Amino acid sequence: MKAGVIGWPISHSKSPLIHRYWLAVLGLTGQYDSYAVPPDKLENFILTMPMHGFTGVNVTVPHKQAVYDLLHGAVSDQAAQIGAVNTVVCKNGALKGYNTDGDGFLEPLAALSLKGKAVCVLGAGGAARAVVAALKSCEVSAVAIVNRDVPKAAQLLCDLAVDGKAYPWLESTAACRDAALLVNTTSLGMTGQPLLNISLASMPSGAVVYDIVYAPLQTNLLRSATERGLETIDGLHMLIGQAAIAFELFFDKKPPRNTLHDAALRALLLA
């Protein structure tokens, strides 16, 4: 079975490490490689997947929306809601798009009851769409979105029919005041990007701070949260969570997930 990840560029992708680890542990003969696919070659790559023997591919930057469009509605409900595809599965010659980012994001939040709680999301790009859609499925009471481009954040709330309000960064303290959960979906704090510096002083004690950035693993935001005594969740949880759902779609087997395997995989990803 042949699977992989497509993007442009692609060399940064951690997906091969994750899928190959699980394939090796399960003793499966499947392969998982990365493919650098420029935008002008995307349509041909996707449409010829059945011919080239692919069971599926993961889709990363900048192709998630373009692949959604190329599949002309042959997508899961979640992908349709988000308007982007991060996984294409090829079964019996037919292609179907999925978006596993939202469920991957929710995986480490399973023990947290978010129903009826207010949450705050930093950012309003593609990753934020998946996160806000996932939070809506948890029946949160309201989503405060903080973004540089405030109308874009308001549009995201409108598109996903989610109650909430859009805030500029200057008002981030007000935005996260009542939040049971704060999520960073921006690229701020990523290696090579500016640091994310906001005050968490107004957040309720017992709140959780989740950064989907995983390089570095301990971001400035997570350090501030720890100093404030708040629980933190790092970005490897979502990375591994979304991959696990895709793995099962590709290989029809659940990946080996337990404390030992997840710890070994995290060590591999951080090496």
Binding site for ligand ATR (CB under 6 A): 123-128, 147-149, 152, 185-188, 194
DSSP E strands in 45-148: the ranges are 54-59, 87-91, 94-98, 118-122, 142-146
- Closest approach, Cβ 61 to ligand ATR, in A, equals 6
- Closest approach, Cβ 95 to ligand ATR, in A, equals 22
- Closest approach, Cβ 122 to ligand ATR, in A, equals 8
Considering the complex, state which of residue 34 and residue 172 has its C-beta at the smaller distance from ligand ATR: 172
Considering the complex, state which of residue 55 and residue 220 has its C-beta at the smaller distance from ligand ATR: 220
- Closest approach, Cβ 36 to ligand ATR, in A, equals 18
- Closest approach, Cβ 182 to ligand ATR, in A, equals 15
- How many alpha carbons lie under 13 Å from residue 27 in its C-beta half-sphere? 0
3-class DSSP state of 41:
helix
Which residue carries 């009826």 as its tokens? 116
Considering the complex, state which of residue 55 and residue 87 has its C-beta at the smaller distance from ligand ATR: 87
The answer to whether 130 touches 102, Cβ cutoff 8 Å, is yes
Distance, CA of 93 to CA of 116 (rounded, Å): 43
The answer to whether 185 touches 127, Cβ cutoff 8 Å, is yes
Task: Give the count of beta carbons closer than 10 Å to the beta carbon of residue 52.
Answer: 9
Any catalytic annotation for residue 64? yes
Considering the complex, state which of residue 102 and residue 126 has its C-beta at the smaller distance from ligand ATR: 126
CB closest to ligand ATR, residue no: 125
* Beta-carbon contacts of residue 194 (< 8 Å; ≥ 6 apart): 188
Q: Which two tokens stand for residue 138?
A: 């948890």
Q: 14, 64, 117, 136: which one is catalytic?
A: 64
Roughly what angle, to the nearest 10 degrees, separates helices 259-270 and 15-26?
Answer: 140
Considering the complex, state which of residue 18 and residue 124 has its C-beta at the smaller distance from ligand ATR: 124
Kindly list the catalytic residues.
64
